[in-house]
C-alpha cells in the first residue's frame, strides 16, 4: 500500500511516463480500488466464504502487481493500480474475520496482533527494497522495484491455498436475486439497533485513522525531504521499523485491558505525536517524533483489527460489517492523497496538525461511542445461525 511513496520520487518512473502533474491522482487510485474492494467484501464475504474471497483477492493482486512491471503507459499502470487496490480492499476483511473466528477468546487480541505485524513487515520490506534500488545503488529502476512489490502477494497466495481453512459455512450456488436480498438484509442489520451506533462510529474511526496514517505514510519520504532531512530513504526504513514497538505495545496490553480504552488511548497518543512532529526542529527530533507517530498508529490499527470484528457478534454479518468500515477508511485515505498533497507543497506543519486533529476525533469517537463486547457474547445470533455454525464445526 505504501510502495507509491517511493515511485513518486523516482526519476525513472516520472521520465518513463512523462509526468507533468497528476501524481496525487495516480497515488489515490489504489485507495479508490480499496474502497470498491471493501464493497466487494461486503457483498461476498459472508456469503461465498472468507477463504474463497481471500484467495481470489490474492490472485488478482498478484496479477495486477506483476503485470504493472511491464506497463507501456501511465494509463495501463493506473488501471492495474486500481485493480490491485480492488484486490487489497477485498482481502483485508476476510483476513481479520478468519483470524478472529479461528482464535480462542483469551488469546484473540494477540493472534490478531500477529497478523497485523505483517503489515509492518511489508512496509519495512518495501522501504529496504526502495533504499537499495533508489538510494544505495543509485540504479533508480522503477520496474525492478515494482517486481519486488509483487512478490509478497504471490507468496501469500501459495501459503493461504495450502494452510488456511474456511472458518464459517458458505452459501453455495447463490443466484442474483437471493444475493441482492441477502446483501440488503446485511446492510439493514448493520444500520439497525443495536448495531447502528457501532457501525457508524467504527466507520468514523476507520476514516480518521486511514486518513491520517495512510495519508502520512504515503508521503513520508517526500515529507522528510521537504523539511530538509537528508538520507530520506534510509530514514523511511527507520520510520517503518518503529512500528515494531507499536506491535509489542499492543501485543502485551490488548488481552489484559479494555480494548476500547486502549484504542482510544493509542489514537490520542497518535494525535499528540503528530502535533509534536509538526513543531519540532532538527533531524533527530523530527525522526523521533515521526517514529512515535508510527508506533502509536500501528498500535491503534492492531486494536482496531480486533475491535472491528468484535463489534459485530453475528458471524453472518461480521465480514460485511468490517468491509463497510474498511471501505469508509479507504475513502478517507483517498481524500488524504489530495489534502496532504496540497499541504505538503504549502505547509508541512499544517499537514501534520490537520492529521493530528483528525486522529483526535477518532479517539473521542472510540471512547464515547463503542461498547466493550467480545465474540462470545452472541446474544444477537439467532438460533438457526447457531445450529448452522455447530453443524459446520462438527463437519470440520
pLDDT of the residue at 305: 85
pLDDT of residue 179: 57
CATH classification at residue 84? 1.20.1250.20
Taking residues 346-373, what's their average pLDDT?
A: 89
pLDDT at res. 256: 87
Which range, of 201-205, 211-215, 274-278, averages the lowest pLDDT?
211-215
The pLDDT value recorded for residue 379 is: 41
172 lies in a domain?
A: no
| Confidence at 168, pLDDT banded by 50, 70, 90 | low
Query: What 3-state class would DSSP assign to 247?
Result: helix
| pLDDT higher than threshold 60 for residue 376 | no
So what's the pLDDT on residue 183? Answer: 65
Quick check: 265 pLDDT over 80?
yes
The pLDDT tens digits for 169-180 are 555 555 544 556
- pLDDT (tens digit, 9 = 90+) per residue, 287-343? 899 999 999 999 999 999 888 878 876 666 777 788 888 889 888 888 988 888 888
Task: Return the ∠ at Cα 245 (arms to 240 and 246), rounded to 5°.
Answer: 85
> Does residue 176 belong to any structural domain of this protein?
no
Say if residues 250 and 23 touch (Cβ distance below 8 Å): no
Residue 55 pLDDT > 80? yes
Mean pLDDT of the chain: 82
Q: What is the pLDDT of residue 262?
A: 94
CB 212 within 8 A of CB 333: no
Whether the CA torsion 253, 256, 259, 264 is positive or negative: it is negative
Cβ proximity of 58 and 156 under 8 Å: yes
301 lies in a domain?
yes
Mean pLDDT of 212-223: 82
Helix, strand, coil share of the chain (percent; to 5): 80, 0, 20
Which pLDDT belongs to residue 40?
78
In this predicted structure, which of 41-45, 139-143, 197-201 has the lowest mean pLDDT? 41-45
Residue 174 located in a structural domain: no
pLDDT value, residue 6 = 81
Q: What is the pLDDT of residues 122-153, one digit of tens each?
A: 888 888 898 888 877 777 889 999 999 999 99
The region that residue 49 occupies, defined by phi over 0 for left and psi between -120 and 50 for alpha, beta otherwise, is left
Question: Nearest-CA neighbor of 305 among 267, 263, 274?
Answer: 263
Mean pLDDT of 13-33: 80
State the pLDDT confidence band at 1, using cuts at 50, 70 and 90: low
Residue 201 to residue 198: CA distance in whole angstroms: 5
Is the model more confident about 27 or about 358?
358
pLDDT for residue 48: 72
Overall average pLDDT of the 218-233 stretch:
78
Q: Which three cell numbers stand for residue 392?
A: 459446520
- Closest C-alpha among 118, 268, 275 to residue 205: 268
- pLDDT for the residue numbered 282: 84
The answer to whether residue 388 sits within a structural domain is: yes
Report the percentage of the chain scoring pLDDT > 90: 31
For residue 112, give its domain range.
4-164+185-395
Q: Does the residue 255 lie in any domain?
A: yes
Tally the domains of the chain: 1
Selected residue with higher pLDDT from 268 and 24: 268
On whether residue 173 sits in a domain, the answer given is no
Query: What does the pLDDT read at residue 392?
Result: 43
Cα–Cα distance for residue pair 324/199, rounded to 1 Å: 9
Task: Say how many residues make up the chain.
Answer: 396
Residue 281 lies in a domain: yes
What digits encode the pLDDT tens for the residues 67-123? 999 999 989 999 999 999 999 988 888 888 888 778 887 787 888 888 888 888 888
Separation CA 396–CA 392 (nearest Å): 6
Model pLDDT, residue 82: 92
Does the structure show a pLDDT above 70 at 393?
Answer: no
pLDDT of residue 45: 67
Amino acid at each position: 500500500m505504501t510502495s507509491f511513496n517511493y515511485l513518486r520520487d523516482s526519476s525513472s518512473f516520472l521520465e518513463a511516463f512523462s509526468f507533468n502533474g497528476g501524481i496525487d491522482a495516480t497515488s489515490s487510485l489504489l485507495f479508490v480500488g480499496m474502497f470498491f474492494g471493501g464493497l466487494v467484501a461486503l457483498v461476498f464475504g459472508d456469503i461465498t466464504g472468507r477463504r474463497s474471497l481471500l484467495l481470489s483477492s490474492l490472485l488478482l493482486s498478484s496479477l495486477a502487481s506483476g503485470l504493472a512491471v511491464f506497463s507501456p503507459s501511465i494509463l495501463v499502470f493506473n488501471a492495474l493500480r486500481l485493480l490491485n487496490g480492488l484486490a487489497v480492499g477485498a482481502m483485508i476483511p476476510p483476513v481479520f474475520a478468519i483470524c478472529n473466528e479461528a482464535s480462542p477468546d483469551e488469546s484473540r487480541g494477540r493472534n490478531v496482533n500477529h497478523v497485523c505485524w505483517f503489515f509492518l513487515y511489508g512496509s519495512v520490506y518495501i522501504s529496504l527494497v526502495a533504499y537499495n534500488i533508489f538510494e544505495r545503488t543509485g540504479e533508480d529502476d522503477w520496474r525492478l522495484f515494482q517486481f519486488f512489490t509483487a512478490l509478497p502477494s504471490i507468496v501469500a497466495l501459495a501459503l493461504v491455498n495450502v494452510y488456511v481453512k474456511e472458518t464459517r459455512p458458505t452459501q453455495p450456488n447463490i443466484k442474483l436475486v437471493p444475493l441482492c436480498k441477502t446483501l440488503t438484509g446485511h446492510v439493514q442489520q448493520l444500520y439497525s439497533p443495536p448495531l447502528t451506533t457501532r457501525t457508524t462510529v467504527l466507520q468514523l474511526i476507520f476514516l480518521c485513522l486511514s486518513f491520517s496514517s495512510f495519508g502520512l505514510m504515503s508521503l513520508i519520504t517526500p515529507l522528510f525531504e521537504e523539511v530538509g532531512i537528508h538520507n530520506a530513504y534510509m530514514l523511511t526504513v527507520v520510520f517503518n521499523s518503529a512500528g515494531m514497538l507499536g506491535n509489542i505495545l499492543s501485543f502485551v496490553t490488548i488481552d489484559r485491558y479494555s480494548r476500547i480504552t486502549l484504542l482510544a488511548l493509542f489514537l490520542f497518543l497518535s494525535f499528540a505525536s503528530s502535533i509534536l512532529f509538526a513543531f519540532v526542529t532538527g533531524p533527530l527530533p523530527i525522526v523521533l517524533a515521526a517514529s512515535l507517530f508510527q508506533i502509536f498508529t500501528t498500535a491503534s490499527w492492531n486494536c482496531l483489527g480486533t475491535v472491528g470484528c468484535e463489534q459485530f457478534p453475528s458471524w453472518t454479518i461480521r465480514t460485511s460489517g468490517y468491509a463497510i468500515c474498511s471501505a469508509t477508511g479507504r475513502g478517507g485515505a483517498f481524500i488524504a492523497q489530495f489534502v496532504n498533497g496540497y499541504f505538503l507543497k504549502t505547509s508541512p506543519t499544517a499537514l501534520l496538525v490537520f492529521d493530528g486533529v483528525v486522529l483526535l476525533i477518532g479517539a473521542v469517537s472510540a471512547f464515547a461511542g463503542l461498547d466493550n463486547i467480545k465474540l462470545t457474547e452472541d446474544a444477537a445470533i439467532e438460533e438457526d445461525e447457531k445450529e448452522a455454525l455447530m453443524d459446520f464445526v462438527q463437519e470440520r
